[in-house]
Amino acid sequence: MIEPIFASWKHVFKLDPDREINDEALDAVCMSGTDAIMVGGSSGVTFDNTVDLLSRIRRYEVPCALEVTSEEAAVPGFDYYLIPMVLNSRDPQWLVGRQVEAIRQFGSYIPWENTFAEGYIILNADAEAARRSDADARLDDLSVLAYVRLADRLMRMPIVYLEYSGRFGNMGLVRRARSLLTQGRLFYGGGIDSAEKAGEAAAAADTVIVGNIIYSDLAAALKTVQAVKQREN
Amino acid sequence: MIEPIFASWKHVFKLDPDREINDEALDAVCMSGTDAIMVGGSSGVTFDNTVDLLSRIRRYEVPCALEVTSEEAAVPGFDYYLIPMVLNSRDPQWLVGRQVEAIRQFGSYIPWENTFAEGYIILNADAEAARRSDADARLDDLSVLAYVRLADRLMRMPIVYLEYSGRFGNMGLVRRARSLLTQGRLFYGGGIDSAEKAGEAAAAADTVIVGNIIYSDLAAALKTVQAVKQREN
């Protein structure tokens, strides 16, 4: 049982509301042929900068998902809402606590039909995301694969997200993770700064997330779209 | 999407491998008309006492599920394996940690087609189960309902288990919890020591679990079966 919407996403650009992007660059990103734009960041995300970025993306037809990392920035009007749950956090607040608090607060206003959990496994111990969520990122391969099965089989999560955040990951491990999934879709993110790496990631994961490089080398970022789309996986 | 096997369970007897039950009593339990026997306990469960109890239950046709609380007692031969995940634990070991460790160890030997997660919400702070799992059991109603939605909507768990362990719970809250479920099934356990309470619980939950009273008042335990089955919910 794969969610139809994710089944068609091979390439996703991730935009951070807390970082500047001019209209020309945003136009290039939205018209690039990417399958979706994901809006989210690990710090400085507010209602105002999120609604501002959404309104600019909305001039284009590309589907737009919000990765909800703070209650205050839960802006209406996105096509999809993705709720990260950090499976390898040492602090249950990052696994279920903050999510329960948000559900408690927003209750019936949550657009459940368009809301999906992402089972995050954070694998770069040096990344800001790992520090903030107190993730046990120094896992051996067997433990990573056990987390993947837990997310897919027991928690039946529609998205299992291997996050190397800023570092290009172990594609052999990513490929093995994907081979274990029975219903979820494997998202990969981290260190994709060239068409070549994008192609490698596309051969290993179901969906490739490209983020930081948008802000440092837009031309290289745009090349990742075709690199992913051409790759049969 | 309700798992067909759980959809037909209204009454379940829970037997503890660490407690004595003679052949006559076990015969009465297995022939009572209950929909399933669940084997599990919070302490003293071993491979030997689990396999012994299973072999005795296997003389009967009643379906038999193991609630897996320790790796050592994961005995083959049950119809179903239920994996508790304590959603309101303060310690991620009880939520995902021990489960990941077990998956890491047993890997491909796990009979996934017959293995299902139970999203436990433990609501009696004085119970042994709450102490052992370091559960934050003093939740207000809105928080309980938020955990229920988290389990059903985000984690898509097939079983959401409200556990009052030794105390009869708030049936109004149990009923509200059930009304929120979209795919999972609501299990209720705790303090059912009479036909009357069993009937009340059956009117509020999808599935009623009867445990302790088997060991202290078998006749009363047996009466809960008809009380649950007669109740339309």
Whether residue B209 is contained in a domain is answered as: yes
Q: Give the span between the Cα atoms of B157 and B183, in whole angstroms.
A: 8
Residue B118, pLDDT above cutoff 50: yes
Confidence bin at B70 (pLDDT 50/70/90): confident
pLDDT score, position B4: 60
Whether residue A4 is contained in a domain is answered as: no
Q: What CATH number is associated with residue B54? A: 3.20.20.390
Q: What percent of chain A has pLDDT over 90?
A: 88
Residue A221, pLDDT above cutoff 70: yes
Confidence bin at B42 (pLDDT 50/70/90): confident
Tell me whether residues B146 and A89 touch, CB distance under 8 A: no
pLDDT score, position B233: 52
pTM, two decimals, is: 0.94
Contacts of B116 in chain A (CB under 8 A): 154
Tell me the average pLDDT across A76-99. 95
Confidence bin at A231 (pLDDT 50/70/90): confident
Confidence bin at A232 (pLDDT 50/70/90): low
Confidence bin at B43 (pLDDT 50/70/90): confident
- Domain range enclosing B35: 9-229
Tell me the average pLDDT across B204-208. 98
CB A151, CB A160: distance < 8 Å: yes
pLDDT tens for A99-109 read 999 999 988 88
pLDDT score, position A2: 47
Mutate to test the interface with B, among A68, A81, A89, A103 (most CBs of B within 10 A): A103
Point out the least confidently predicted range of A75-79, B41-45, B135-139: B41-45
Whether residue B2 is contained in a domain is answered as: no
Confidence bin at A233 (pLDDT 50/70/90): low
Q: Is A166 annotated as a binding residue?
A: yes
Q: Is A119 annotated as a binding residue?
A: no
pLDDT score, position B30: 98
pLDDT score, position B6: 81
Residue B10, pLDDT above cutoff 70: yes
Contacts of A109 in chain B (CB under 8 A): none
- The rounded mean pLDDT for chain A is 94
Residue A146, pLDDT above cutoff 70: yes
Select the more confidently predicted residue: A7 or B62. Answer: B62
pLDDT score, position B232: 64
pLDDT tens for A1-15 read 445 678 889 999 999
pLDDT score, position B1: 46
Confidence bin at B108 (pLDDT 50/70/90): confident
Tell me the average pLDDT across A119-145. 95
Tell me whether residues B100 and A1 touch, CB distance under 8 A: no
pLDDT score, position B2: 47
ipTM: 0.93
Whether residue B4 is contained in a domain is answered as: no
pLDDT score, position B87: 97
pLDDT score, position A7: 83
Q: From the list A103, A142, A154, which residue is nearest B99 (CB)? A: A154
Tell me the average pLDDT across B131-141. 95
Whether residue A2 is contained in a domain is answered as: no
CB B168, CB B191: distance < 8 Å: yes
Q: Give the span between the Cα atoms of B76 and B106, in whole angstroms.
A: 12
Q: Give the span between the Cα atoms of B86 and B130, in whole angstroms.
A: 9
A 144-183: CB under 8 A from B: 145-147, 149-150, 153-158, 182
Residue A72, pLDDT above cutoff 80: yes
pLDDT tens for A159-184 read 999 999 989 999 999 999 999 999 99
Residue A197, pLDDT above cutoff 50: yes
Whether residue B86 is contained in a domain is answered as: yes
The total number of structural domains that make up chain A: 1
Confidence bin at A84 (pLDDT 50/70/90): very high
Whether residue B1 is contained in a domain is answered as: no
Distance from CA of B233 to the nearest CA of A (A): 24
Distance from CA of B130 to the nearest CA of A (A): 16
